[in-house]
């Protein structure tokens, strides 16, 4: 951050493609990583990846490193006033849940975690 006479100026990170890329807020990421950690502890997931573009932010969790993601969570703010900016996709690309609240969308994976721990 650089300071000028009128206040701080945000400078784009060198090599960054889009200054206005979508990302996760700290509280959102904390909630996602909390679920990820519990799924790792249950032996369900081993790796994750994140992708940030101008249109969406994506978090994908993998059972094995070279596998297709078992779960993919997308945040698309452009859909905020339609079906909701959160979407959870399954292993085969099927939509498991869409919604306006992250907690409600992640509830699908929370239920799977409970089943995995019970077994």
Mean pLDDT over 38-57 rounds to 93
> Average per-residue pLDDT in the chain?
85
pTM for this entry: 0.78
pLDDT of amino acid 10: 58
Q: What is the pLDDT of residue 15?
A: 54
Local structure of residue 44 (DSSP, 8 states): S
Q: What is the per-residue pLDDT for 114?
A: 74
Percent of the chain predicted with pLDDT > 70: 78
Least confident among 5-9, 37-41, 46-50, 59-63: 5-9
Q: Identify the pLDDT of residue 8.
A: 66
Exposed/middle/buried for 65, CB within 10 Å: 0-12, 13-18, 19+? exposed
* Segments making up each domain of the chain, as ranges: 16-118
């Amino acid at each position: 951050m650089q300071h000028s006479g009128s206040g701080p100026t945000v400078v784009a990170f060198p090599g960054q493609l889009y200054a206005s890329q979508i990302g996760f807020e700290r509280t959102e990421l904390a909630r996602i990583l909390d679920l990820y950690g519990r799924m790792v502890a249950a032996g369900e997931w081993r790796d994750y990846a994140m992708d940030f573009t101008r249109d969406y932010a994506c978090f994908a969790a993998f059972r094995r490193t070279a596998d297709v993601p078992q779960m993919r969570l997308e945040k698309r703010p452009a859909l905020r006033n339609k079906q909701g900016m959160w979407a959870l996709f399954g292993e085969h690309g099927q939509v498991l849940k869409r919604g306006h609240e992250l907690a409600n969308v992640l509830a699908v994976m929370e239920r799977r975690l409970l089943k995995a721990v019970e077994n």
